[in-house]
Structure 1
Amino acid sequence: MSDHSPTTRSYGVVRRMTARGRDEEHRTATPLELFFDLCFVVAVAQAGRQLVHALAEGNPSHGIPGYLMMFFAVWWAWMNFTWFSSAYDTDDVLFRVTTLIQIAGVLVLAAGIPRAFDSGDFRAVWFGYLVMRLAMVAQWLRAAHSAAGAERCAAMRYAQGVSLCQVGWLGLLLLPQHAKPWLFLVMALLELTVPVIAERPYQTGWHPHHIAERYGLFLIIVLGETVSAATVAVQSGVDQHGGLGTLLPIAAGGLLLIFAAYWIYFAVPIHLHLASNRQAFLWGYGHYPVFASVAVIGAGIEVAVEEATGKAHISALAAAAAVTVPAALFLFTVWLVHSRHQKRGLAQQSVLPVSAVLVLACTFGGRWAVLLAGLVATGTVATGVTLTTRAARAGAAASAQQAGTEA
C-alpha cells in the first residue's frame, strides 16, 4: 500500500513530496481540490459574461476569440495543478498554502478579464497568471528536490518549461494589439508541448480514477454555473418584461440541454481508458472544447433570453445559434475524446455525432430552437440508454449460452 494511503498518511507542516502511485486505493478528490475548482469557475463565469455582451451586441468576431483565449488561460492553469496534484499531493501545510496562492492568482486574473476583453489590457490577467505559475513552479521544484534520476529530470523540465512560457506571455503587455491573438496562439501551442517534453524521461504518477473524477467534478461545477447564469437571465427577463410565455421554451430547452450534458458525460467509466500518457494526453487536452462549449451553453441561453426580450441587437437565428452551436460542439467533442472509447457497434457510435447534427439543425427552429435542441438532447439520452441496455442484455444472454454449452 502507498505511504500516502489514508491509514498511513501523516499530516504536518512539511513532508517529503514523494510521487503517489497509480494503483493507490481509495484515491479521491480532496476538499482543497474542490475549493480550487470552485474558485476557477469564477474566472470562467467572468469570461462567459463578456461573451454574452459581445454576442448580444452582434460582435462575435471580437467576443469568440476573446472568450477562447481567456478560457484557455483558466483551463490550462487548472490542468497544470490537477495533474500535478494527482501525482504529488502531500496535503501538508506548504502544499495547501501554495495552492491557495494559485487560487488568489486566478481571482486576480478573473478581475482583469473585463478589461482584457474591452480594451486589450492584459496587465491584470498577466499578473494573475504570473502568481499562479510561480506557485506551480515552486511545486515542481519541491517535487524535484525530493526526487532523483529521471523523476527529478522530469520535474525540473516542468519547472523550466512553465517559467519560460511565462516569460513569453510578456508579449501580451509589449506587442501591438493586432499581434496579441497570434502571440496567444503560439504561446498556447508552446504550453501544450511542455508536458509532452517533460514526461519523456519519466511518466509522473497521476492516478487514472482520480483524474477522471477531477475532470468530472470540474464539469459539474461549470454546469452549475451555466444553470445559475441561465436562471438569472430568465429572472431578469421576467422582471423587466413579464414575457414568461416567450421565455419558458428557452428555459425548458436550456435545462434539458444541461441535464442531457450531465447524463451523457457520466455515462461511461472513462478511467478504464486512461492506461498511459498516450491516452491521457489526448483525452486531457481534448477537454478544452468540451469544457469551453458546455460553459458557452449558459452564455448562449442568456443571449437567447436577451433577444427574446428585445435587449439584444441580433436576429433570432443568431440567438438560437448561440445555444445550438456550443451544444452541438459539446456532443461531438464528448464523443470524440470521451465516450467513443466505451461504445461498441455502429449504432452506439453514431448516436452523439448524429445528435450533434440534429441540434445544429434546430438553429432554424425560430423561437422554438432552444426547446427543440433540448428535446433532441433528451432523445439522445433515451436512445443511448436503450442501446446500452440492449447490448448488456445481449451480452448477458451470450455469456449464459456459452456457460450452458461448456457445461
Structure 2
Amino acid sequence: MATMSGGNAAGRHASWLELFFDLVVVAAVMQLAHRLHGEPTPADVGLFVLLYLAVWLAWSSFTLYANVAGDRTSQRSMLAAMAGIAVLAAAVPEATEQRVVVFVVAYVVVRVLGARTMRRTGTNLTAWPTVQGLLGVVPWLASIWVEPPGRYVLWTVGVAIDLLLPLGARAEARVPRFAQRMIEAQARREGRPVEDFAARVPKPARVDLAHLAERLGLFMIIVLGEAVLQVVTTAAELPWTGRLVAVAGLGFVVLVGMWWHLFRYGLIASEGRSLPVSVAMPLHFVTTVSITAVAVGLGGIVAHPEHVPAADGWLLCGGVAGWFLAGVLGGLPDPANRRWLLAAGLPGIAVPIALAAVGRSLPGPAFTGVLVVLMAWQWAYSTRQEQRRSRLVPVG
C-alpha cells in the first residue's frame, strides 16, 4: 500500500470534518514540540515520544473509523473526539506534573469513544485492531495511582500493547473459538440453526487505501507546515544576521527535500510497492515524530546560528535519521529497493548521527549545510533512478 505517497486520484477524498479534526490534533503536536524547547534531556525526549504516541493513537482511531464508515461517519462522535483531543493538547505542557490526571483521563475517554464508535459500524477492523481494542489503555488508567518512574513504565507498556497488537492481526476476520462455541450453544438452546446468528458476528472492515493514503499524507503536510512555522517564528523574533538567514534558508531546503521525496516517491524511491496497514501506520508515526523533532532542532539552531546547541543538533539530526529510517523499514520487504537502501537510505541514517556526534564545533550554516547535501544526494539518486526506469520502459 503506497500510503506514504501523496494524492488520491479517484474515489473518496478527505472531508472538511476530517481536515478540521487533523488541525485539532496538530494543535496537540505543537504543544508537544514546545516540551522539547531549551535543553531537553534524554528522559524528556522519551516522555515526548510517549505523549506523542498517545496523541497519535487517539488520532489514528478516528482516522481509521472515518475511513471505514465513509458517508456514515458520525459527526457527533468526531466532534466529541475533537473536544477530547483539545483537552489533551491543553494538558500536554503539564502532562507529567499537575495535569497528568487530566491528560490520562482525556486519552482514555477518546480511545473508549473511538472503540465504541467503531463497533457501531458492525465491522471488525483486523488490519488495525487497536482501534477496537482497549487493553492498551488499562496501564494508562492504572498509572494515575502510580508515581514516576513507575507511571512512565505503565505508559510504555500501554503503547507497546497498542503497537504490537496489529502485528498479529489476520488478513481476514475470524470468529474466536470461544465466541463460536457460545453461538452454537445459544443456537442449541433456542433450537435454531447457527446461521441465524451470523448477523451478530462483526464483518471484516474494508479499508479504503486511497483515502487512508490521503489522510496520512495530509497529516504529514500539516506537520511539515508546523516545522516551517517554527523556523519563521524564531527568525521573526531575532535580528537578521548573515548566519541566521543562512541557517533559516538551508533549513527550509531540508524541509523541502523531505516534502519532495515523501510526496513524489513515498518514503522509498520505488514503484509498485505495497505496505499493509499494520506496517504503514507505525511508519507514519515514525515519520511525523521525526518531522516534529526536525522542526524543534531547526528552530533552536536558527536562534543560535553561531554555535549549534547540543540538544538542538541531536534533535535535528535525529529527526532526519528517523525520517530515513522509516524509509529503510518500509523498503526492506522488497528486494528491488536494495540499491536505494544502500545508496541513500542507510547513509541517510548514518550521516546525521555522525554529524550530531562530531559536528558540534561547526557553525550553524555549515552544520545545516551537511544535511542539505544529504538531501541533494537522495534527490539526485532518486531522479537518476527514475530516468533510468523510464528509459527501460518499452515504447509502443
Name the TM tier (shorter chain).
Answer: 0.7 to 0.9
What residue is the counterpart of 1:98 in the other structure? 77
* Structure 2 residue runs without a partner (length 5+): 1-8, 175-202
What residue is the counterpart of 1:350 in the other structure? 343
- Report the Cα distance in structure 2 between the residues aligned to 1:369 and 1:309, rounded to whole angstroms: 10
Superposed displacement of residue 68, structure 1: 0.3
Identity of aligned residues (%): 22
Match of 2:154 among 167, 183, 208: 183
127-136 or 95-104, which deviates more: 127-136
1:186-239 superposed Cα distances (whole Å, 9 cap, x missing partner): 111222345566764264200111111111111001101111112111212x2x
Aligned: 1:369 with 2:340: no
What residue is the counterpart of 2:188 in the other structure? none
- Note closer, same or farther for the CA distance 1:317–1:136 as it changes in structure 2 (3 Å cut): closer
What residue is the counterpart of 1:35 in the other structure? 20
Name the SS for the 1:161 alignment partner. coil
Letter of the 2:86 counterpart: L
CA contact (8 A) 2:116 2:132 kept: no
Name the SS for the 1:366 alignment partner. coil
- Note closer, same or farther for the CA distance 1:160–1:76 as it changes in structure 2 (3 Å cut): closer
Aligned: 1:220 with 2:218: no
Match of 2:90 among 111, 123, 131: 111
Aligned: 1:130 with 2:108: yes
- Report the Cα distance in structure 1 between the residues aligned to 2:317 and 2:125, rounded to whole angstroms: 46
- Report the Cα distance in structure 2 between the residues aligned to 1:51 and 1:261, rounded to whole angstroms: 21
* Structure 1 residue runs without a partner (length 5+): 1-23, 145-150
- Note closer, same or farther for the CA distance 1:195–1:140 as it changes in structure 2 (3 Å cut): farther
Superposed displacement of residue 66, structure 1: 1.4
What residue is the counterpart of 2:318 in the other structure? 325
Aligned: 1:252 with 2:246: no
1:139-158 superposed matches below 5 A: 139-144=117-122, 151=123
CA contact (8 A) 1:255 1:374 kept: no
Q: CA RMSD in A?
A: 3.0
Name the SS for the 1:51 alignment partner. coil
Letter of the 1:102 counterpart: A
TM-score by length of 1: 0.77
What residue is the counterpart of 1:78 in the other structure? 59
- Note closer, same or farther for the CA distance 1:345–1:166 as it changes in structure 2 (3 Å cut): closer
- Note closer, same or farther for the CA distance 1:120–1:193 as it changes in structure 2 (3 Å cut): farther
What residue is the counterpart of 2:212 in the other structure? 211
Which has more helix, going by share of residues?
1
Name the SS for the 2:295 alignment partner. helix
Name the SS for the 1:114 alignment partner. helix
Letter of the 2:85 counterpart: V
Bigger RCO (CA 8 Å, 6+ sep): 2
- Report the Cα distance in structure 1 between the residues aligned to 2:46 and 2:139, rounded to whole angstroms: 20
Name the SS for the 1:170 alignment partner. helix
Superposed displacement of residue 382, structure 1: 2.5
1:174-323 superposed matches below 5 A: 174-195=145-166, 200-201=173-174, 203-236=204-237, 238=238, 242-268=239-265, 273-274=273-274, 279-308=276-305, 316-323=309-316
Letter of the 2:133 counterpart: G
Letter of the 1:124 counterpart: V
- Note closer, same or farther for the CA distance 1:208–1:274 as it changes in structure 2 (3 Å cut): farther
1:161-176 superposed matches below 5 A: 161-162=133-134, 164-176=135-147
CA contact (8 A) 1:208 1:274 kept: no
What residue is the counterpart of 1:336 in the other structure? 329
CA contact (8 A) 2:325 2:345 kept: yes
